[in-house]
Amino acid sequence: MPFYESTEQLQQVFETFWPRILEMDDVYQKLVKSGIIVRFDIEQPELHVTIDFKNPGPDGKVGTISFDSEVEPQIVVWSTSETTNKFWQGKLNTTIAMAKGQVKMQGSIAKALGLLTKIKPVFKVFPDVLRELGLDHMIL
C-alpha cells in the first residue's frame, strides 16, 4: 500500500476531511463532550495534526484542527501515513497495531480507545475525501 506523496498532500486530505467531521452533529457532540486534545504524529511523510476539543478556536467553537500546534495534547498517537490511512478508513485494528508497534500512544490509552467508538461513523467519509482529491489508489 502506498504512503502519501508529500506532507502537503497529507495535510490537504486532513483539511478537506476535518470540516466534514464537524458537520456530523452526533459525532461532533460526543467529541465536544470528551473535551480532549489529541495529536497525531505521522511519519512518511511527516505531519503533526492536533485536534482540540477543549479550547475554542478563532470561530469560538471547539474541534479545531491545526498543524504543528503549540497546544499540549492529552493523547499523542504516532504512526506512519500508511497506518493513518488504514485507521481513518476503519481498516485498522488499533489494539493489534499497538501490539505490533505500528501505532504508539502516550497519555490515557483508555480515553483514546474510548474515542474510537465515538468516531466510527467518520470512517465512511474518509474514502470519499480521497476519491474527491484524486487519491483513489489510497482507498482500501
52, amino acid identity: D
**Inter-residue contact 26 to 61 (CB < 8 Å):** no
Over residues 28-38, mean pLDDT: 93
Residue 42 β-bridge partners: 47, 79
* Confidence tier at 32 by pLDDT (50, 70, 90): very high
- Output the pTM of the full model: 0.92
Which residue would you say has higher pLDDT here, 131 or 116? 131
pLDDT exceeds cutoff 60 at 1: no
Helix then strand then coil, % of the chain, to nearest 5: 45, 20, 35
* Per-residue pLDDT reduced to its tens digit, 12-24: 999 999 999 999 9
Second CATH level (architecture) for the domain 7-127 = 2-Layer Sandwich (3.30)
pLDDT tens string 67-122: 988 999 999 999 999 999 999 999 999 889 999 999 999 998 888 888 888 899 99
- 83 neighbors 2 (Cβ within 8 angstroms): no
Would you state the cell numbers that stand for residue 25, as one nine-digit string? 452533529
